[in-house]
Amino acid sequence: MNKYIKELVALSDIDKQLKSFDPQLEQIEKRISKEKKKIDELICENEKITSKIEDNTAKIKSYEEQIASINEQLKDLKRKSSEVTTEKEIKALEVEEEIAREKIKFANDEIEQLNKINDTKKALLQENEEKIQELQKELDEILAEAEKEKAEIDKQKTELFKKREEIIRDIDKKILAFYEKIRKWAGNTAIVPVRKQACYGCFLKINDKTYSDVLKGEEIVTCPHCGRIIYYDASYESGEEEA
């Protein structure tokens, strides 16, 4: 195999390895954001519950004020009842008092109902609060784990970059630029083997002339169909499958 091709295959192999960390890193970020989302949803839910409790508390206060004011009315009625004399007037005051007492009963029932609702909501709030703490603990563990994984990936990447630098230092600059140009659209498959006289980038059969150039391996050959750099894969043709 031509020296340049050997270098390009080695370079492409390193680039593939470098790229292979991307999904791992994505996976890590996904795990973190999934956990954060769970916490955010609970926090948001608790904000809504708290605001509902505040609404109910305001309503309770307003009912209590109503009761206080009706009690004042009742005192008034009592005072008046000692002053009235006719049957008709007494009856009228009695009706008024009855209405006032009904209003108080209604307000008390409402207060009781609202307090019950608030008790349930406060329990839910507490439950969510515990869940949030639990999730926060989990998130801390996930973050610590992620830090470790990322550090390990960084270490491996640094080593690969060092190797990459070494190859690049030796490689012909024009060939390197050519490889990088193809890599822009072909990504990991900028340089591919030829197997059974077919390009392993586009999987189309290549003509005899190009194939013989590939076999000779004297210069950089590109696939006539897709433009990727192609090389003869001796290990495959001799029956040894690549890992």
Taking the least distance from each CB to Zn ion, the nearer of 28 and 198 is: 198
CB 36 within 8 A of CB 139: yes
Q: How far is the CB of 236 from Zn ion (least distance, A)?
A: 16
Minimum separation from the CB atom of position 45 to Zn ion (A): 55
Closest CA to 53 of 104, 128, 140: 128
Nearer to Zn ion, 36 or 225 (CB): 225
Contacts with Zn ion, residue ranges (CB under 5 A): 199, 201-202, 223, 225-226
Q: At residue 241, what is the residue type?
A: E
Q: How far is the CB of 203 from Zn ion (least distance, A)?
A: 7
Token pair in block for residue 24: 């791992």
58 vs 143: CA distance, rounded Å: 42
Closer to Zn ion by Cβ: residue 63 or 200 = 200
Q: Please, which residue, 116 or 181, has the CB nearer to Zn ion?
A: 181
Is the CB of residue 214 less than 8 Å from the CB of residue 206? yes
Which lies closer to Zn ion via its Cβ, residue 150 or residue 225?
Answer: 225
Q: How far is the CB of 14 from Zn ion (least distance, A)?
A: 22
Nearer to Zn ion by Cβ, of 28 and 206: the residue is: 206
**Cβ-based nearer residue to Zn ion, 114 or 191:** 191
* Min separation Cβ 221 and Zn ion, Å: 11
Sheet strand arrangement including 229-232: 198-199, 191-195, 229-232, 221-222
The size of the chain, in residues, is 243
* Angle between the N-to-C axes of helices 3-19 and 21-81, in degrees from 0 to 180, rounded to the nearest 10: 20
Report, in Å, the least distance between residue 206 CB and Zn ion: 7
Distance (Å) of CA 82 to CA 1, 72, 94, 232: 121, 16, 12, 118
Paired tokens of 213: 């150039």
Neighbours of 194 (CB within 10 A): 23
Question: How many other C-beta atoms lie within 10 A of the C-beta of residue 220?
Answer: 19
Q: How far is the CB of 223 from Zn ion (least distance, A)?
A: 3
